[in-house]
Amino acid sequence: MQEYILHRLLLLIPTVLGVTLIVFLMMHLIPGDPVSLLLGDYYTQEVADAIRQEYGLDRPLYIQYGLWLKRMITGDWGNSIIARRPIFDDLIRRLPITVELVILAMSVALLIAIPAGILAALRPYSWHDYGAMTTALIGVSIPEFFMGVLLILGFALAWNVLPAVGYVAPTQSVVGNLSHMILPAVTLALPRAALLTRLIRASMLEVVRLEYVTTARAKGVRERSVVLKHALKNALIPTVTVLGIQIGFLMGGAIVVETIFSVPGVGSFGVAAISLRDYPQVQAFVLLVSLSFVLSNLTVDILYAFLDPRIRYEKEVD
């Protein structure tokens, strides 16, 4: 098991490096650089060259990338070219907010999907089943930006039970924090809940028909234990796999949701950086997102090994 985890951790490095290299090259391929934006109508070659030299933008790409990598490793994430502020400070302040949003969204998605998926599987072709599937279809069909506005109009405007937008830190008020994060989290969660509901339903349908489940029932095991202890654990294996992939989509969705709800996370930070061609900021953002993606997949892989002992034993045997 330890060997398995170490192997996966080592794979992290080339994966992250590969992602950052690709994005670095792409940023330099798209038209425009921050110097054009900074100088605007007063662009002269002399001044532009001086600014490029100051920011190291006049060097060959491979040197720029190498220098950036070296600074990252030593903890110097540099300054934003446009805002002239340390990138690390801004990111570190914003990252926990996005992480909180993603965790809440995933929790809400699972809270919806697991019971709905189980119920749909245990009562196939009933109104429980049709209801769950129809709701899942709606959830996956409505885009996040539209769903977000709908929820605001309903919960904030019409019923006035939740705040429309904004963010309160949990250190200021836990209740305030949760009340501000519910709507963004639900907006982000619904499409995922839809997908997971369908997946859990399909997995459960398959598992409950297996012989060991029939045997458990025949032995007189309580239905609750049959479903939750014997069937669900196996049914969750593919779900866990999909969860890891969904983390990536959640980070992408967080960009839209953070913009609508004015949540000060890394998503909105990254979008602004791209439109302003703020290279150091974009690279830092991409590094962070790719690390999150890779680490979440790693967590899923490890969880997978715990859920399915055959994976652990196979490795040990090897």
User: Does 268 help bind other proteins (rule: CB under 8 A)?
Assistant: yes
Count of positions on this chain that bind other proteins (CB under 8 A): 47
Q: What is the residue-wise DSSP string for 55-68?
A: HTTTS-HHHHHHHH
Size of the chain in residues: 318
Residue 281: which of 295, 271, 291 has the closest Cα?
271
Q: How many CA atoms lie within 13 A of 143 on its CB side?
A: 5
Q: Which residue has the tokens 């709905």?
A: 116
What is the Cβ-side half-sphere exposure of residue 208, based on CA atoms within 13 angstroms? 21
List the one residue from 167, 279, 285, 293 that touches other proteins (CB under 8 A). 167
Beta bridge partners of 79: 86
Shortest Å distance, C-beta 296 to other proteins: 25
Contact 240, 307 (CB under 8 A): yes
Residue of the chain from 263, 266, 287, 300 that contacts other proteins (CB under 8 A): 263
> CA nearest 243: which of 90, 77, 114, 67?
114
Residues 33-72 contacting other proteins, CB under 8 A: 33, 36-44, 47, 50-51, 54
Q: Which stretch binds other proteins (CB under 8 A): 27-35, 58-66, 122-130, 135-143?
A: 27-35
- By C-beta, is 50 or 63 nearer to other proteins? 50
Give me 264's structure tokens: 């000060």
153 binds other proteins (CB under 8 A): yes
In the numeric block, the tokens 């779900």 are attached to 239
Does residue number 175 form part of the binding site for other proteins (CB under 8 A)?
Answer: no
Among 2, 45, 160, 172, binds other proteins (CB under 8 A): 160
- The reply on whether position 264 binds other proteins by CB under 8 A is yes
Binding site for other proteins (CB under 8 A): 31-33, 36-44, 47, 50-51, 54, 80, 82-85, 90, 93-94, 149, 152-153, 156-157, 160, 163-167, 259-264, 268-269, 272, 275-277
